[in-house]
Amino acid sequence: MAKAKKSTKKSAKKATQKTVKKVVKKIVRAAKPKGPVERVGVIKLGENPATIIGNDVVVGQTAPEFSVQANDWSLLQGLASTAGKVRILAAVPSLNTAICDKETRTFNERAAALGDDITILVISSDLPIAQKTWCSGAGIDKVRTLSDHLDMDFGVKYGTYIKERRWHRRAVFVVDRDGKLVYVAYMPQLGLEPNYDEVLAAAKAAL
């Protein structure tokens, strides 16, 4: 009888310990901060599906604030630093690729006719010094290039971060003076350019 009672106590103790462990595991899991969403198959790198970190943004939502680095390595808030203006945000893989080079030069040329109330920010994961060197060689003076290299904050918040290469997928966003997204376009392939006329028309309509 005594043995049976001892065995029952041991079983109860083990059951209690297991329950406690399960509860603790659940609490620990719940306490762990969840990382950004990862999506596969949204876009391809060559013939292979790429992994995109972060969710797409949509027209009508408040544009997420983001931290980037200027060409002099200083940190800045992309939207706060351009408050009061209509913003065109162009995410590109790298300025040292042919399509990105062409896109940035095109926006720089078209910016001359936009006036001071519209600003164009081209964001890539290139180092600030690499962006500065490229801009100097390309004669870029109306478009501002910003680096997301430090922690890919823009890429995660706007759903442009390609995990396999630490690049951005090509996309363009227009943010109005109130910080709302009024135009969103994600290119289905890295080699495709945006519709410049459509982007500029959306920016002008937001004035």
- Catalytic sites, residue numbers: 100
What are the domain boundaries of the chain?
1-32, 55-205
Say if CB 174 and CB 87 are below 8 A apart.
yes
Instruction: Please report the pLDDT score of residue 35 as a whole number.
Output: 86
Query: Per-residue confidence at 205, pLDDT binned at 50, 70, 90?
Result: very high
Indicate whether 57 pLDDT > 50: yes
Q: Ramachandran region of residue 17, left (φ > 0), alpha (ψ -120 to 50) or beta?
A: alpha
Say if CB 122 and CB 104 are below 8 A apart.
yes
Indicate whether 7 pLDDT > 60: no
Structure tokens at 36: 């950004």
How do residues 66-83 score in pLDDT, each as one tens digit? 999 999 999 999 999 999
One-letter amino acid for residue 100 of the chain: C
- Mean pLDDT to the nearest integer, 48-58: 97
How do residues 84-107 score in pLDDT, each as one tens digit? 999 999 999 999 999 999 999 999
How do residues 146-187 score in pLDDT, each as one tens digit? 999 999 999 999 999 999 999 999 999 999 999 999 999 999
* Residues contacting residue 163 through CB under 8 Å, at least 6 positions apart: 38, 50, 51, 52, 53
How do residues 16-38 score in pLDDT, each as one tens digit? 666 656 655 566 455 556 789 99
CATH class of 55-205: alpha beta
